[in-house]
């Protein structure tokens, strides 16, 4: 089991940078760095191997080769709103990684179901065979 709960992220694993953003904000967007780039060192989270592998797959291209997840939030006009958005997206990503996939239970078709399928195939084949030109002997 992992040493971290999905909602609790240690602060020493996080690094925030504020960058200039495109999008809403008017002239303010050129002056103030409102977008946030949140970097998370995955190795400091102390995740279990299965959780780590699911997180790596879920993160995709957002995970760097150095084991950092980079989340960029620039939807809002203020630093605080973008910061909150980035942290929520990180929490959602970690929560999804902690969910174990449900294993599929293999089932087997019954003998009656197999016979029914074969009968319907034979019937359909007979219908198709009857569509051709009539044979003259």
Nearest alpha carbon to residue 39 among 6, 17, 23: 17
How far is Cα 52 from Cα 57, in angstroms, rounded to an integer?
9
| Closest to 69 measured CA to CA, from 94, 33, 98 | 94
Per-position b or e across 99-118, b if 16+ CB within 10 A of its CB? eeeeeeeeeeeeeeeeeeee
What is the value of pTM for the model shown?
Answer: 0.63
Q: Which residues pair with 15 in a beta bridge?
A: 39
Tokens of 17: 């940078």
The two structure tokens encoding residue 21: 């953003």
pLDDT of 4 strictly over 50: no
Predicted confidence (pLDDT) per residue in 88-132, tens digit? 888 888 888 888 989 999 999 999 999 999 999 999 999 999 998
CATH (one of 3.40.50.300, 3.30.160.20, 3.30.70.1150, 3.40.190.80) for 11-98: 3.30.160.20
- Domain definitions of the chain by residue range: 11-98
Q: What is the mean pLDDT of residues 55-78?
A: 84
Number of C-beta neighbours around residue 28 at 10 A: 12
Question: Is 77 strand, coil or helix?
Answer: coil
pLDDT given at position 115: 97
Q: Could you read off the pLDDT of 39-62 as tens digits, one per residue? A: 888 888 878 888 888 888 888 888
Number of H helices, E strands in the chain: 4, 3
- By the 8 A CB rule, do 6 and 94 touch? yes
Taking residues 9-19, report their average pLDDT: 76
């Amino acid at each position: 089991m992992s040493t971290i709960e999905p909602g609790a992220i240690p602060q020493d694993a996080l690094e925030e940078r504020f960058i200039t953003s495109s999008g809403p904000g008017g002239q303010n967007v050129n002056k103030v760095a409102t977008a946030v780039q949140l970097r998370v060192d995955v190795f400091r989270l102390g995740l279990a191997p299965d959780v780590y592998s699911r997180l790596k797959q879920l993160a995709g291209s957002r995970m760097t080769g150095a084991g950092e997840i980079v989340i960029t939030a620039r939807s809002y006009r203020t630093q605080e709103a973008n910061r909150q958005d980035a942290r929520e997206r990180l929490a959602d990503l970690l929560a999804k990684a902690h969910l174990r996939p449900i294993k599929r239970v293999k089932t087997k078709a019954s003998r009656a179901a197999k016979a029914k399928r074969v009968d319907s195939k034979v019937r359909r084949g007979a219908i198709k065979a009857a569509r051709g030109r009539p044979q003259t002997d």
